[in-house]
A and B are shown apart, each in its own frame.
Chain A
Amino acid sequence: MNLRNIIIAAAGTLAITACDLDEKFYSSVTPDTFYTQPENTYAVLSRPFTHWKWYLGNDRWYLQELTTDEMACPAQGKDFYNNGEYVRLHEFTWAPTDRFIVNTYEGTTGGIARALEAYDDLSKVDYGKLGMSEADRDDQLSQLNAIIAWFYMRGLDYFGGMPIYKSNNDPVVGRSTTLSSSSRRPYQS
């Protein structure tokens, strides 16, 4: 029964060598191996800013412009009717489920969340080890504070009373103001 022993030995060896059940990543990196050079801190710093670049266009433009007297997006033949979503902006009859509203809310909170994440991650990085100074660190964290403030400013303008987070470790909080009649849209008929 030598063969049997060989098989059992082979199976046993395989069982031992293959029992590493950890995930191994190829197209993404785990943060603990990420920070090896000064550029890496800037890469994390810039993530909320690439979000900001996206945020500046798109649905924000529709909300800002198509709700004014000077601009409207009427249906043209078969295009731009879209179940009345552009008309609703102009008529002030939009629904909370309309995509411009949803995308803008999630775009705003997404910007805040990404900036808070970068702040949290960079706070833990040992800048000295990467050959960077305390001033570099303060500079980066201040930029993040600035963009957090900017996203809150936009959020307050669109929705009022945004829930305020100072860190991604905060518990879930509600709106900072209650929805009163004064914070409703002004021209609703």
Chain B
Amino acid sequence: MSYVGYTSQKVKPGKNLVLNIVLSTDQQTLKDVVVVGYGTLDKKRVTSSITSIKGSDLVNGLGGSTIATALQGKVSGLTISGSSSPNSSNGYQLRGVASVNAGKGPLVVIDGVPGGDLRMINQEDVQSIDVLKDASAGAIYGTRAAAGVILVTTKQAKEGKVRATWTTELSTETVRKSLDLLSSKDYMAYGIGQDYGYDTDWYRQLVDDRQLSQRHVLSLSGGSKNLQIYSSLMYSDQKGTVIGDGRTDYSGRMNAKYKMMDGKVEMSFKAQYRQANRDRRNGSSSFEHVLSLNPTIPVMDPTNPKRYNTTVGIGGTTHNPVADIELKDYQGIDKWLQADATLKINIWDGLSVQGTMGIDHRDYQLTEYYRQNHQDMVESNKRGKATHKFNKTDNKTLEAYASYLHDFDQHRVDAVAGWSFYETGGENFSMTNANFTVDGIGPWDMSSGTDLSDGLASMSSGKDPRERLMSLFARVNYDYADRYMATASFRREGSSKFGPNNRWGNFWALSAGWRISKEDFMKQLPWVNDLKLRVGYGVTGNNDFGSGYTVRTYKSNDMWPTNGVWQPGYGSAKNNNPNLKWEEKKEWDFGLDFSFLNNRISGKFDYYIRRVDDMLFEVPAPQPPMVYTTIMSNVGSLTNKGWEFELTGQIVKTKDFNYSSTVRLSHNTSKIDNLGDTNSYLYGGSFPSSMGYATKLVNGSKIGQFWLFKYAGLDENGKWLIYDKDNNVVPAKDGTKLNTVDANKHYVGNAIPKLIASWDHSFSYKQFDLGVYLRAWLDFDVFSQPNLYYGLKNSTDDNVLRIAYTNNKEINDTRILTDYFLSDGSFLKIDAVTLGYTLNLQKWTKYLQKARVYFTVRDLARITKYQGYNPEVSINGLEPGFEYLRSTSSLYPQTIHWTMGVQLNF
């Protein structure tokens, strides 16, 4: 006997004529509830593309100070950038670039309050993470959902005994891959520069591995019928693998739920505070100094070994990176406070109204102090320099909506309608003073520096324009016999960033599902447990650009003497465009959900095509008549196309041994259809040392194409040969004729992997569990800036990478922007291996339920043929695929992270 959604049973007919067979709804995939905007939905009724992850499915012990590490590879189509530094910032991108005004990540909604910050969230507090990928799912969030929505639901206590969970993790890191620079011996053998008589491996000097990091989390939950409370406390101390990099975090959360008036009135209060104290003395230039410094220069002063060397072989634009870090303070404190209260009234069965008020406060405080013997101070003849910087953002959210659920016969109607208001604003100030009497006080006696009385100190402050969003929204789900289902949603939203004429936008979505497996003709295929076809179309908006573009304002500039008094000049702040309107994204999503063979194999496939119109970005403006050279406009469009595939198999399912595996594959291409005018273009970032640009987006560009000179070999003297615009081989520099001009650049390569794959394996044998997580990016190119700037022999005394005298030894020319420095970045990485043992303690004590001991290794190995250092560069945004020189993220040591953890359940 079998039925969709239920486990099969074999029943032997006995003597009784009446058989009572109770089928158990064992299958997890159909029972699950998915969090959608303003409510939840049974997973089986979902008609759009949503990926749900349970908090308990996230791997423990991965380290990392945010949840980004645990999310990596778990959602197909979601790419996360970052490094193994505890201070790494992470960028999220779903289904490719959502807007040309880049940096736009998915909207984060924490416990129903939009606009949250994922950095605040503790892995242990997560009940579930639901990612709304397509526009039909996201449209209920209207304007901010253009890049997808990540909904985080934190844990809610259940009625019953008080349960406690204590987790302790100890971890350390070892370096897996270092930069391969010339040693002092090789440096001298090649006669690159002067011999200062020492042997210094500058990269090793910066590395500080095998440090002990720790993390402790305590969570408590429990309650009575009318009051349930979940609370947690977290402390974490994460050491970086380079000196001057580390962070300490504290966090507390309290989720309380009250019921009054026989359950008619429900109130919930949620609050979290988190603080991160960051040591960020290690900066983006530290690694560049490591690359360039002569390895015969001593770290410590030869005449006084207790002091750092800041003179021997060092000066001008070079720094001793160790001295730079050790002779300054650079402390950042991040604080997050989020609190929200919800009042819900159950009017009658199926109808409820609720109102939520949420506040979200974030601030960042930076204190910086350069000691008197820091090279910058010695060279600028200052006795110490101190800086304070502070900025904060306050978000307020008010929402109210009514929900209605009604079942009749085979029909189900589920509807929600409401109103939402959001306001945000920020403030900042900073001050700098120098020339202090004593170093010991650091930045904590700002007024005592004499730069203030000398008129050289500086200060600044600013307050962002008030930004508001207001909207009305509604959604209806209809379901007939679990066979046919449809969802419609609508949101009308107004934003203060637009002028009064274009302020309001309408965003809507329609989606439908057909559960084919419920049709009669499918009965002959009993191995098909579930088969559902989904189609969705939706329109979402984007207003992700700065404020103050539609209204003309004056801003102060430099001082000028007028009538004997110095006062700042005032002029317009930027070019204004009162006709700005919403950028719109229209997306189709075609999906198939399936489950076969007693639900042993399940998965889904999604194909999407989305088009972004009226893109908001700054385009060149004629000056005059405009005052500035760029103006914010609605120009052009881009298209993303791609597919995602997820397959889970319960391969072995026995009493003692279980093995399940999940494969996730995704592919995306993004194309700029047009940028307005036929000759419009958009440059990427400018390369250091006036090397120009390596990306130039024009009409029809594919995102991920590089714009470089095409390498055509070398002439007999080792000088560059390139293909010119007509594909003739020409020297890069022909006498005084320069062929390295923009006209001769070609579009080459592809920075977006053709296939992004992750492959999870989970084994369990009796009390043991083992997880192996693999991830691969296939067929894509990465441009290595370190190889361009430090991979060639040159006439300076800079140290170079070993490849300058091996792979690149034939090259005898100055650097040019060529695809020679582009190489295939394809890699396969063992993201994590985790082994655990769970001990049932109830046999011995009634107070302890169980203990799990686990050992997790992160970033164990990577197989790649990439010619640079780290192929896992950012593939988000408009200029993906660059390994940068002046970036902590690109050149940070690649490490293996080892963790021992214990989790006790009381």
B550-A23 in contact (CB<8A): yes
A189 vs B737: C-alpha distance when bound (angstroms): 10
B796-A50 in contact (CB<8A): no
Interface of A is mostly: helix
Encoded as 1 (CB less than 8 Å from any B CB) or 0, chain A from 16 to 54 comes to 001111111111111100100001101111111111011
Partner of B625, one of A3, A23, A24, A113: A113
B569-A47 in contact (CB<8A): yes
B470-A97 in contact (CB<8A): no
Q: Which residue of B lies closest to A52 (CB)?
A: B560
**A158 close to B (CB within 8 Å):** no
**A135 close to B (CB within 8 Å):** no
List chain B residues, Cβ under 8 A from A42. Answer: 562-563, 567
B567-A43 in contact (CB<8A): yes
B567-A113 in contact (CB<8A): no
Partner of B692, one of A53, A97, A118: A97
Count how many pairs of residues, one from A and one from B, have CB atoms less than 8 Å apart in the complex: 195
A53 vs B571: C-alpha distance when bound (angstroms): 15
Q: A165-B625, A168-B625 are in contact. Are A22 and B796 (CB under 8 A)?
A: no
**B554 close to A (CB within 8 Å):** yes
Q: A11-B419, A172-B625 are in contact. Are A79 and B462 (CB under 8 A)?
A: no
Q: A7-B353, A43-B570, A85-B690 are in contact. Are A21 and B494 (CB under 8 A)?
A: yes
B69 to nearest A CB, angstroms? Answer: 37
B192 to nearest A CB, angstroms? Answer: 12
Q: Which of B479-509 contact A (CB under 8 A)?
A: 494-497, 500, 503
A106-B571 in contact (CB<8A): no
Q: Which of B567-599 contact A (CB under 8 A)?
A: 567-573
**A81 close to B (CB within 8 Å):** yes
Q: A19-B470, A23-B467, A30-B553 are in contact. Are A110 and B558 (CB under 8 A)?
A: no
B548-A113 in contact (CB<8A): no
A7 vs B345: C-alpha distance when bound (angstroms): 9
List chain A residues, Cβ under 8 A from B313. Answer: none
A91-B736 in contact (CB<8A): yes
List chain B residues, Cβ under 8 A from A40. Answer: 570
Partner of A113, one of B463, B494, B553, B623: B623
A156 vs B465: C-alpha distance when bound (angstroms): 40
**B725 close to A (CB within 8 Å):** no
**B635 close to A (CB within 8 Å):** no
**B624 close to A (CB within 8 Å):** yes
List chain B residues, Cβ under 8 A from A79. Answer: 316-317
List chain A residues, Cβ under 8 A from B563. Answer: 39, 42
A26 vs B467: C-alpha distance when bound (angstroms): 12
Partner of B548, one of A7, A23, A95: A23
Partner of B624, one of A10, A51, A112: A112
B627 to nearest A CB, angstroms? Answer: 5
A18 vs B400: C-alpha distance when bound (angstroms): 14
List chain A residues, Cβ under 8 A from B571. Answer: 44, 47-48, 114, 117-118
List chain B residues, Cβ under 8 A from A20. Answer: 468
List chain A residues, Cβ under 8 A from B690. Answer: 82-83, 85, 98-99
Interface size class of B (residues with CB under 8 A): 35 or more
A83-B689 in contact (CB<8A): yes
B256 to nearest A CB, angstroms? Answer: 20
**B292 close to A (CB within 8 Å):** yes
List chain A residues, Cβ under 8 A from B815. Answer: 83
**A14 close to B (CB within 8 Å):** yes
A16 to nearest B CB, angstroms? Answer: 11
A92 to nearest B CB, angstroms? Answer: 9
**B742 close to A (CB within 8 Å):** yes
List chain A residues, Cβ under 8 A from B627. Answer: 110, 113-114, 117, 168
Q: A169-B625, A172-B625 are in contact. Are A95 and B470 (CB under 8 A)?
A: no
A31 vs B227: C-alpha distance when bound (angstroms): 56
Q: How many residues of A contact B (CB 8 A)?
A: 71
Partner of B466, one of A23, A84, A165, A189: A23
List chain A residues, Cβ under 8 A from B742. Answer: 95, 97
List chain A residues, Cβ under 8 A from B470. Answer: 15, 18-19, 21
A50 vs B736: C-alpha distance when bound (angstroms): 39
**A185 close to B (CB within 8 Å):** no
A77 vs B795: C-alpha distance when bound (angstroms): 7
B699 to nearest A CB, angstroms? Answer: 20
B720 to nearest A CB, angstroms? Answer: 13
B562-A23 in contact (CB<8A): no
B622-A172 in contact (CB<8A): yes
A77 vs B193: C-alpha distance when bound (angstroms): 11
Partner of B553, one of A25, A50, A53, A117: A25
A148 to nearest B CB, angstroms? Answer: 10
A116 vs B622: C-alpha distance when bound (angstroms): 14
List chain B residues, Cβ under 8 A from A29. Answer: 553-554, 570
A13 to nearest B CB, angstroms? Answer: 11
Partner of B569, one of A21, A22, A49: A49
Most buried by A among B353, B554, B573: B554
A148 vs B814: C-alpha distance when bound (angstroms): 43
Q: A3-B265, A25-B465, A169-B625 are in contact. Are A50 and B689 (CB under 8 A)?
A: no
**B559 close to A (CB within 8 Å):** yes
B421-A18 in contact (CB<8A): yes
**B312 close to A (CB within 8 Å):** no
A165-B738 in contact (CB<8A): no
**B653 close to A (CB within 8 Å):** no
**A70 close to B (CB within 8 Å):** no
Encoded as 1 (CB less than 8 Å from any A CB) or 0, chain B from 791 to 826 comes to 000111110000000000000001100000000000
Partner of A21, one of B292, B496, B567, B626: B496
A170 vs B623: C-alpha distance when bound (angstroms): 11
A26-B465 in contact (CB<8A): yes
List chain B residues, Cβ under 8 A from A184. Answer: none
List chain B residues, Cβ under 8 A from A54. Answer: 558
B552-A30 in contact (CB<8A): yes
Q: Which residue of B lies closest to A91 (CB)?
A: B736
Q: Which residue of B lies closest to A15 (CB)?
A: B419
A179 to nearest B CB, angstroms? Answer: 18
Most buried by B among A7, A34, A112, A169: A7
**A124 close to B (CB within 8 Å):** no
Q: A7-B345, A168-B627 are in contact. Are A25 and B548 (CB under 8 A)?
A: yes
A23-B465 in contact (CB<8A): yes
Partner of A34, one of B421, B497, B570, B691: B570
Q: Which residue of A lies closest to B622 (CB)?
A: A172
List chain B residues, Cβ under 8 A from A23. Answer: 465-467, 496-497, 547-548, 550-551
List chain A residues, Cβ under 8 A from B567. Answer: 39, 42-43, 46
Encoded as 1 (CB less than 8 Å from any A CB) or 0, chain B from 538 to 568 comes to 0000000001101111110111101101011
B398-A14 in contact (CB<8A): yes
**A4 close to B (CB within 8 Å):** yes
A15 vs B814: C-alpha distance when bound (angstroms): 64
A21 vs B543: C-alpha distance when bound (angstroms): 14
B558-A106 in contact (CB<8A): no
**B103 close to A (CB within 8 Å):** no
Q: Which of B187-242 contact A (CB under 8 A)?
A: none
**B772 close to A (CB within 8 Å):** no
**B464 close to A (CB within 8 Å):** yes
B290 to nearest A CB, angstroms? Answer: 15
List chain B residues, Cβ under 8 A from A171. Answer: 625
**A93 close to B (CB within 8 Å):** yes
Most buried by A among B265, B551, B559, B795: B551
A75 vs B500: C-alpha distance when bound (angstroms): 55
B572-A117 in contact (CB<8A): yes
A50-B355 in contact (CB<8A): no
**A109 close to B (CB within 8 Å):** yes
A79 vs B628: C-alpha distance when bound (angstroms): 32
- What would be 14 A-B contacts, judged by CB atoms less than 8 Å apart? A3-B265, A7-B353, A22-B496, A23-B496, A23-B551, A25-B553, A27-B462, A39-B562, A43-B569, A49-B560, A82-B690, A88-B738, A97-B742, A167-B625
Closest 9 CB pairs of A and B: A26-B463, A46-B560, A47-B571, A42-B562, A47-B569, A28-B553, A78-B796, A50-B558, A113-B624
